[in-house]
Each structure stands twice: as structure tokens, then as C-alpha cells.
Amino acid sequence: MPRKSSRTPGPAPHSRAGAPCPCGLGAPYGECCGPFHSGRAAAPTAERLMRSRYSAFAVGDAGYLLRTWSAGTRLGSLDLDPRVRWTGLEILGTTGGSAFHREGTVEFVARCRVGAETAEQRENSAFVREDGRWVYVGGAG
């Protein structure tokens, strides 16, 4: 639930390398999405980019979200609502998006809590390669 803003906070303090990765793959954050967030590695597929972007929302890494957003659709800045606690990601389906594709889609449901309220975001996100790396283009809810 991004909002436009003039600041882009870094990763939240709870994004320790040994903690479970928020993306749901079961690996520690430092071995899963952490290397993508730090820039030490690039997501090899559209689905892994989607998962790493979800994790970036969960750990508060707006900079990563902006860096992995297509230049043609990227916001100028991004302010993440600190009240939102992301609680789960479910991948519903994918098309394309492998190492052999130039574009792909990832359909997902992301669940969160805002105070006592629960919410979910459903989207079929589009991804393309720019300069050899997967980037988020946009999606339909």
C-alpha cells in the first residue's frame, strides 16, 4: 500500500540475515531476498523478483522497490506506511518470466494487517527485462 512521498526509508531493523525470509520460500532472509535487496545479486526470474519486492515491503526497503521498478512506470519516490504489517504472500500463477523470457506475469495475493484490521492485495503483476534485469512494470488488482 505505497504512497507517494519525498523520502525512501531503508530496511527495517528486523531484517536480520538469519530471520526467516518474508517471501515464504522458507530460507533465511540473508540467503533468500537479502542478497537482492543489498544489490549483491539480481532476481533470476519474475517470480523471484515479485517475492523479493514483497519482502522489501515487509522489511521497509523502499529503495529496493524503486530500483526494481521499470523506468517507464516508476514513481519519483515512495513512502511505506509503517502501520502496515505484511503477513503472507501466496503466488497464484505465473506466465513466462524465466531466464529464457523477456517478459512475464505473476498473479498473487499479499496479506497484511493495519492495526486490528486485516487486508489483502490481489494483483496480476507484469514484469519485463531492462538492461538484462527483471523489473516490475505494473499490475491490475
**107, 99, 97, 84: which is closest to 128 by C-alpha?**
97
Q: Give the tens place of pLDDT for each residue, 98-115.
A: 999 999 999 999 999 999
Class for domain 29-140, per CATH?
alpha beta
**pLDDT of 49:** 98
Ranges of the chain with pLDDT below 70: 1-15, 141
pLDDT of residue 6: 35
pLDDT on residue 122: 96
